[in-house]
Amino acid sequence: MKLAILSVSAALGFLPVQADIFGNWKAPSATDVRSPCPMLNALANYGILPRDGKNITEEDTIEALGTALNFDIELSRTLYGFAISTNPTPNATIYSLDNLGRHNIVEHDASLSRSDAYFSDPSVFNQTIFDETKSYWTLPIVDLRQAAMSRLARVRTSQRDDPNFVLNEKFGLTEVALFLSIIGDYTTATAMRSNLEYFFENDRLPIEFGWNRPLTVFTSADLDAMVQRVAQATEEVSGEDSRLRRGCRKTAKQPGL
Ligand code: HEM
Ligand SMILES: *[C@@H]1O[C@H](CO)[C@@H](O)[C@H](O)[C@H]1NC(C)=O
Ligand SMILES: *[C@@H]1O[C@H](CO)[C@@H](O)[C@H](O)[C@H]1NC(C)=O
Ligand SMILES: CC(=O)N[C@H]1CO[C@H](CO)[C@@H](O)[C@@H]1O
């Protein structure tokens, strides 16, 4: 039976790679550690990264991001560099997922699904925060504009409420670029809202709902280009917003903006 499936797959020109690597999702145990990153948490939940979330090497990172998401080695190396910068041990070559929650190294304020460190643990998923983000995703397909708008709204809320607020535009834009590119579709810069919700709320890839590992290699240049698109959309959305505030238009299209 297995052989038959394999040969059908081979005949169709693909390997049943997904069924294998994404076949064993498990919620973390009490001693496993996790991060503020829904993707690294998901990869650990599948056992593609170490399930305990500890002592992750450069090789582990390259292998996991390559196998699961078709990330180019150079991009994975860069991301690994950010990860080890959060390990408090000098000159560390490994990191643990809980290192990533240290505030204002990579972890930052105004996250899409985490509280600011000033209020509560910024590593853990926070439904109240994510509900604010989701309230800007008003259609089944989230586009560049709604994605940018949701981040901008989170920034404004934090600016208003958090006396220790620090803006990290670069990482904030990068994370929007990542979810559109990897959970959604790179070319159109859109993602299905239900897939995004499933991903953020469960630390799990929406495989049951048709998500697939990206077919083409994802590089630093691809990521940079998407970050530019998100930055541009943010500028447009925020320009509309300031025109609105000056009273050029009577009705706001989006709640709160
Ligand atoms: C070694 C690779 C990676 C590292 C070290 C890393 C690290 C982080 C960290 C520290 C955060 C928390 C930032 C915050 O305060 O919100 C974060 C958030 C995030 N990461 Fe990753 N990440 C990696 C790979 C990825 C990949 C491949 C994706 C692809 C979808 C991704 C998607 C996200 C998203 C969407 C967020 C935003 C979460 C939120 O705002 O609530 N990350 N990542
Ligand atoms: C870390 O690396 C630097 C530069 O190579 C070196 O000077 C320093 O002694 C190292 N520190 C530790 C604790 O190994
Ligand atoms: C979620 O975030 C809000 C706002 O930062 C905070 O007041 C609340 O305590 C957080 N909830 C949990 C369960 O941490
Ligand atoms: C072999 C090794 O480096 N082990 C380390 C794994 O990570 C824990 C902390 O998360 C360290 O205490 C170990 O030394």
pLDDT at 10 over 80: no
CA-proximal residue: ligand 2, atom 4 (nearest): 91
Measured from the Cα of 121, ligand 3's closest atom is 14
User: Is residue 48 domain-shared with residue 102, that is, in the same domain?
Assistant: yes
Mean pLDDT of 111-134: 98
User: Is residue 139 domain-shared with residue 86, that is, in the same domain?
Assistant: no
90 lines ligand 2 (CB under 6 A): yes
53, 40, 43: which is closest to 82 by C-alpha?
40
Q: Which residue type does 85 have?
A: S
User: Is residue 248 domain-shared with residue 122, that is, in the same domain?
Assistant: yes
- How many domains is the chain partitioned into structurally? 2
Kindly report the number of other CB atoms within 10 A of residue 8's CB atom: 10
User: Is residue 133 domain-shared with residue 251, that is, in the same domain?
Assistant: yes
User: Is residue 86 domain-shared with residue 127, that is, in the same domain?
Assistant: no
Give the tens place of pLDDT for each residue, 211-252: 999 999 999 999 999 999 999 999 999 987 666 556 544 443
User: Is residue 188 domain-shared with residue 201, that is, in the same domain?
Assistant: yes
Which of 58, 90, 107 is the last residue in one of the domains? Answer: 107
Mean pLDDT of 1-28: 62
User: Is residue 13 domain-shared with residue 95, that is, in the same domain?
Assistant: yes
57 lines ligand 4 (CB under 6 A): no
* Percentage of residues in the chain having pLDDT higher than 70: 86
**DSSP letters spanning 63-114:** HHHHHHH-B-HHHHHHHHHHHHTT-SSTT-S-B-GGGGGSBTTTB-SS-SSS
Question: In this predicted model, which residue has the larger pLDDT, 162 or 253?
Answer: 162
CA-proximal residue: ligand 3, atom 9 (nearest): 120
CATH number of residue 204's parent domain: 1.10.489.10
Provide the pLDDT for residue 3: 43
Mean pLDDT of 167-196: 98
pLDDT at 204 over 90: yes
24, 70, 10, 20: which is closest to 213 by C-alpha?
70
Provide the pLDDT for residue 239: 84
User: Is residue 59 domain-shared with residue 150, that is, in the same domain?
Assistant: no
Mean pLDDT of 18-24: 81
88 lines ligand 2 (CB under 6 A): no
**82-95 CB burial, b ≥16 within 10 A, e <16:** ebbebbeeeeeebb
User: Is residue 83 domain-shared with residue 132, that is, in the same domain?
Assistant: no
Mean pLDDT of 44-60: 98
Which of 107, 125, 158 is the last residue in one of the domains? Answer: 107
Domain that holds residue 21: 1-107
Which of 61, 90, 107 is the last residue in one of the domains? Answer: 107
User: Is residue 203 domain-shared with residue 81, that is, in the same domain?
Assistant: no
User: Is residue 82 domain-shared with residue 138, that is, in the same domain?
Assistant: no
Contact criterion met (CB below 8 Å) for 43 and 49: yes
State how far the Cα of 14 lies from the Cα of 182, in Å rounded to an integer. 20
Beta strand extents in 101-238 (DSSP E only):
141-142, 191-192
Residue 55 Cα to ligand 4 midpoint, Å, equals 6
User: Is residue 99 domain-shared with residue 124, that is, in the same domain?
Assistant: no
